[in-house]
């Protein structure tokens, strides 16, 4: 995009977005994500799974989904932990995130259930899907790609790059953008 186009977009009035909490399941677990889109947009548009950081579904993830919806996506904030499971501290978040990072098949099942829900939305073009996440969410977006999910791309910001099954990288169908600070001690 050119700078004049970006400036023009910044001056446009904010779209009235539709945002709703939406329940879905993975196995016996009830999950609660947040779906956001611009109802004035085209009948079909690209879909993107927004995977929250280790604090789970909350204001930051919702804000990211809103920004993506304003750019023309149908954005679904994925719930990895389960309905009503929202850590109150970094210590609680570390325990929860550790559970899923230690059980990659479960982590993949949770994020794939979010992708499946997104694909069922009537305004989503199922040929144009992706995922994005920060930190724990970035790790999860990478695991979605490694699971062989039909996504055109994933973006991981500060996500864990390691995998207990590195050969699964052969299953990646789309592009991967991993943004990781060179001076980051983690």
Distances (CA, A) of 161 to 27, 41, 134, 166: 27, 35, 12, 10
pLDDT at 41: 81
Structure tokens at 108: 């993949």
Segment 171-174 long-range contacts (CB within 8 Å, at least 24 positions apart):
171/146, 171/147, 172/145, 172/146, 172/148, 173/145, 173/148, 173/149, 174/130, 174/145
State the pTM of this model: 0.90
The whole-angstrom separation of Cα 108 and Cα 96 is: 15
pLDDT score recorded for residue 8? 44
Give percent of the chain above pLDDT 70: 90
Nearest CA-CA partner of 13 in 40, 47, 42, 44: 40
Mean pLDDT for 163-171 is: 95
Asked whether the predicted pLDDT for residue 11 surpasses 70, the reply is: no
C-beta separation of 68 from 98 below 8 A: no
Question: Model confidence over 22-80: pLDDT tens digits?
Answer: 999 999 999 999 999 999 989 999 999 999 999 999 999 999 999 999 999 999 999 99
Look-up of token digits 């993107």:
48
182, HSE (Cβ side, Cα atoms, 13 Å): 0
User: Residue 10: is its pLDDT beyond 90?
Assistant: no
Instruction: Please state, rounded to an integer, the average pLDDT across all residues of the chain.
Output: 92
Please report the pLDDT score of residue 84 as a whole number: 95
């Amino acid at each position: 995009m050119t700078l004049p186009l970006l400036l023009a977009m910044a001056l446009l009035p904010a779209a009235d977005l539709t945002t709703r909490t939406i329940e879905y399941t993975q196995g016996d677990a009830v999950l609660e994500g947040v779906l956001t889109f611009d109802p004035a947009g085209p009948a079909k548009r690209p879909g993107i799974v927004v995977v929250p950081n280790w604090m789970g579904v909350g204001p930051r993830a919702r804000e990211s989904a809103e920004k993506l919806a304003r750019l023309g996506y149908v954005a679904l904030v994925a719930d990895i932990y389960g309905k009503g499971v929202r850590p109150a501290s970094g210590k609680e978040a570390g325990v929860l995130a550790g559970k899923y990072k230690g059980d990659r098949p479960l982590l993949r099942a949770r994020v794939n259930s979010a992708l499946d829900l997104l694909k069922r939305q009537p305004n989503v073009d199922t040929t144009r899907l992706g995922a994005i996440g920060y930190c724990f969410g970035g790790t999860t977006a990478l695991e979605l790609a490694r699971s062989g999910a039909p996504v055109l791309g994933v973006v991981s910001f500060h996500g864990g790059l390691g995998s207990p099954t590195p050969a699964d990288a052969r299953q990646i169908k789309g592009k991967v953008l991993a943004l990781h600070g060179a001076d980051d001690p983690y």
